[in-house]
Amino acid sequence: MSEAILGISAFYHDSAAVLLVDGRPVAAAQEERFTRKKHDAGFPHHAAKYVLGEGGLTLADLTAVAFYDKPYLKFERLLETYNGFAPRGLTSFLSSIPVWIKEKLFMRRMLNDEFARLGEGKPKVLFPEHHLSHAASAFYPSPFEEAAILTVDGVGEWATTTIGKGSGKDISILRELHFPHSLGLLYSAFTAFCGFRVNSGEYKLMGLAPYGNASAPRIEAWKRAILDEMADVREDGSMLLNMEYFNYATGLTMCNFPKWEKLFSIPARQPETAITQEYMDLALAIQQVTEEIVFTLAETARDLTGCANLVMAGGVALNCVANGKLLRRGTFDDIWIQPAAGDAGGALGAALAGHHIWQGQPRTVEPADSMQGAYLGPEFDRSRTLRTARRHKAPYTEFADFGDLASAVADLLADGNAVGWFQGRMEYGPRALGNRSILGDPRHPEMQKKLNLKIKYREGFRPFAPSVMEEALPEYFDIDRPSPYMLMVAPVDESQRRELPDGYDSMPMYDRLYVQRSTIPAITHVDFSARIQSVSNRTNPRYWGLIDAFRKRHGCGLVVNTSFNVRGEPIVCTPDDAYACFMRTEMDYLVVGDFLFAKKDQPEWREQGDWREQFDLD
């Protein structure tokens, strides 16, 4: 009988389930996609039910279930932290400890109760440490026989950063940085101070940083303030944070706001208010500090391991700006980053640790990686799409030949339309990679504004990513290797750029944003960068085929790709989710499989109440 391990991450944020059969991912999904609650932290009941069904297995068939951290060790950290900071943190202690005693301290019992809802059977439960789960998720699927491993996030049990080495089936952790000293929490504190939501707004802070005025004297002054007052960064990249500036260890907020306001001479920004130049500059300052720390950690990892390649996971590994710069520095020959680098990926790492470490199974290294393009979620057949169309009395055109569909959609894109593109298996991880995407023409001067304001209903400053045919990558971007998971930022090639107007750097944010900086303005950020997804005909032939049709018919080998959702909503999972999002927004067309829906032909969309109230703004 095959070995089957169910991986679970839950009870913090981004819960997920993964099924591993004989060491290979069969299915993986985040719970939020089923419950429609973004960053859902509950037990991933729907995701677990899906992955077991996809594998044709029941709970009784499992060799083990692997949970992505050690609850008792995390409880120890909470108790020791409160004890170390006492009498500070009493309010937080009184609110959190009863929950731990009542629920999380009895995690094994809680998990067994949840498993009972999935069916009969009592599999063995494994509890690898949080950062071991991250390390396993980074190393085992990677294309490297041997690699340095860097995991950086907010906090697991005690560890906030680890450096390790992977070789064959073995992982050794060589260095750890412990709570409360954390690069991830430092970056999250700046996220909060700049008015964004922690654990979801960090990518907004990263996107805001290029609007900072790099020549402004306060950038260097603020970087010195961070490094002199807040964070004592050592030669190896480890750090000691001055906890007088932070409340997260024992409080209910991230920052000691009065001390921050005194240090930076600006007030904390209130959410949803105008973003002034001060916050753009502060975002640039902390982004540059973060990059330097990541570079130093990588150099330490190289020195400790002697490895030529690096793998990364943890929430900070989603900082694709730092990743792209690290790649170009040449510290390592190559870098591979787990596409589900955050806590959702811990479910995969826990299962892989169970297979290779607990079971001692050998590892097979695949030439690209073993993630199958991260297309590991549910897919829906023709009959399911027909049911959605009938339910909503939705007119459609069905194409018998994919080439005809691709040509038709390519022409729609070239005419300036926004197209929802729903195909095959849903992506695992935070990025839409061409199966649950909204697409546009990157050459269209108004496309960035249209997608942000009329479809995504989100802040207008936020950039969009290009999906580019792997073969056309050098024509558009200064990067010398594929970037299939949208985890690397690279410069737009000089041949595609346009000259900037005088005084560009001093223009207001949105004036800068809408300057046509290149031949592909919808995906060119204000600093001439782009977060790249290279598309391979081997991994996703339909998406590649669409872009190829766009290239052949309109001379452009890339499209704008943004996730198929609105602000605060998880990426769509089902055809019903896709149709609802299509009708609620100013999207022009929807493609589900071989079906094309035109907005102008659809019946009036009606639903009870305001749909926007279903989703909390992230």
Chain segment 510-551, per-residue pLDDT in tens: 888 889 999 999 999 999 999 999 999 999 999 999 999 999
pTM of the full predicted structure? 0.95
Q: Which domain range does residue 608 map to?
A: 382-614
518 belongs to a structural domain? yes
**Structure tokens given for 123:** 């599999």
Q: Write out pLDDT tens, residues 170-228.
A: 999 999 999 999 999 999 999 999 999 999 899 999 999 999 999 999 999 999 999 99
Which CATH number fits the domain that encloses residue 517? 3.90.870.20
13, 130, 134, 525: the active-site residue: 13
Residue 288 shares a structural domain with residue 358? no
- Report yes or no on 193 lying in a domain: yes
- Cβ distance 344 to 15 under 8 Å? yes
DSSP annotation of 228 reads I
Q: What is the pLDDT of residue 137?
A: 98
Which of these, 92, 601, 123, lies nearest to 354 by C-alpha position? 123
pLDDT at 104 over 70: no
- Residues 300 and 261 reside in one and the same domain: yes
Same domain, 269 and 416: no
Establish if 114 belongs to a structural domain.
Answer: yes
Say yes or no to pLDDT of 244 above 80: yes
> Encoding tokens for residue 227?
């490094």
Q: Is the pLDDT of residue 90 over 70?
A: no
Do 386 and 361 share a structural domain?
Answer: no
pLDDT of residue 89: 60
The CA–CA distances, whole Å, from 181 to 153, 155, 177, 513, 557 equal 11, 9, 7, 36, 44
Q: What is the mean pLDDT of residues 98-123?
A: 79
Is 349 a member of any domain? yes
Radius of gyration of the chain (CA): 24
Q: Are 267 and 366 members of one domain?
A: no
**Collapsing DSSP states into helix, strand and coil, what is residue 149?**
strand
d(CA 409, CA 389): 19
Q: Which two tokens stand for residue 355?
A: 């297979």
Please report how many Cα atoms fall inside a 13 Å half-sphere around the Cα of residue 88, on the Cβ side. Answer: 14
Which residue type is seen at 548? D
Question: Mind listing the pLDDT tens digit for each residue in 143-177?
Answer: 999 999 999 999 988 899 999 999 999 999 999 99
Question: What order of strands is seen across the sheet that includes strand 465-469?
Answer: 397-398, 595-598, 589-592, 419-422, 436-440, 558-563, 465-469, 529-535, 488-491
Q: In this predicted model, what pLDDT tens digit does every residue of 423-453 receive, in sequence order?
A: 999 999 999 999 999 999 999 999 999 999 8
d(CA 489, CA 478): 10
Residues 399 and 478 in one domain: yes
- Give the model's confidence band at 105: pLDDT under 50 very low, under 70 low, under 90 confident, else very high: low
Tell me which residue of 423, 317, 318 sits closest to 375, measured CA to CA: 423
Backbone angles phi, psi at 201, to 5 degrees: -95, 0
Same domain, 41 and 106: yes
Is 181 annotated as catalytic? no
324 plus 360 within the same structural domain = no
Tokens at residue 445, please?
């001067």
* Domain shared by 314 and 427, yes or no: no
Residue 376 belongs to some domain of the structure = no
The pLDDT, as a whole number, for residue 515 is: 92
Read off the pLDDT of residues 295-327 as tens digits, 9 standing for 90 and up. 999 999 999 999 999 999 999 999 999 999 999
Counted domains in the chain: 3
Same domain, 534 and 422: yes
Residue 146 lies in a domain: no
Reported as half-sphere exposure (CB side, CA atoms, 13 A), residue 370 has a value of 25
Q: Rounded CA gap, 609 and 607, in Å?
A: 6
Q: Is residue 429 part of a domain?
A: yes
What Cα–Cα distance (Å) separates residue 53 from each residue in 33, 56, 92, 112? 16, 5, 41, 19
> Do 277 and 228 reside in the same domain of the chain?
yes
The DSSP result for 444-500, as a single string, is -TTHHHHIIIIII---TT---EEEEEGGGHHHHBS-SS--TTS-EEEEBPGGGB-PP
Q: What is the CATH number of the domain that holds 282?
A: 3.30.420.40
> Are 324 and 363 in a shared domain?
no
Average pLDDT, integer, range 590-616: 90
Beta pairing class for 465-469 and 529-535:
parallel
In a domain, 169, yes or no: no
Concatenating the DSSP letter of every residue in 2-30 gives --EEEEEE-SSSS-EEEEEETTEEEEEEE
